[in-house]
Amino acid sequence: MKKFDKIDLAGSSCGEMADSLKDDYYQKNREARLSYQRAYYRKNRNRIIRAREIRKEEDPKWSERQRAYNRAYYIKNRAKIRIQREKKASEGS
C-alpha cells in the first residue's frame, strides 16, 4: 500500500491548507487513500455490520432518523453534491 505524500504547510496560517493545496493533496493521494479504505473495510467488515445490527436492535427508529438526516442533508447541499458528481463523472470519462 502506497504511503501518503506529505504536504508543505510553511506559510499557511494556523496550519490550515488553502483550498488549492488541499485539492492537490487529496487528488495526489487518492489511490493510496482508497486503497487504505478498502483494506480497512475488508478487515473490519464483520465488526461494522455487527455494530450496525446492534444499533438497530437497541433503537428501532435509528434507520428512520438516519434516512431523514440523509435526506435533509442532500436537500440542503443538493447543488454542491451535483457539482461534485458531475466533476467526478467528467474525470472518469
Asked if residue 83 and residue 54 are part of one domain, the reply reads no
What is the residue range of 86's domain?
A: 65-93
What pLDDT score does 57 carry?
Answer: 93
Number of domains in the chain: 2
**Statement to judge: residues 72 and 46 lie in one domain:** no
Residue 70 in any domain: the answer is yes
Give Cα 10 distance to the centre of its chain: 26
Q: How far apart are CA 67 and CA 56, in angstroms?
A: 13
Residues 51 and 69 in one domain: no
- Residue range 20-58, pLDDT digits in tens: 888 888 889 989 999 999 999 999 999 999 999 999 999
Residues in the chain: 93
Say whether both 83 and 52 belong to one domain. Answer: no
Residue 6 lies in a domain: no
* Pair (24, 45) in one structural domain: yes
- Decide if pLDDT at 11 tops 80: no
Q: What is the pTM of this model?
A: 0.56
In a domain, 13, yes or no: no
Beta carbons within 8 Å of 48's beta carbon, 6+ residues apart: 41
In our burial notation (b when 16+ CB lie closer than 10 A, e otherwise), range 71-93 reads eeeeeeeeeeeeeeeeeeeeeee
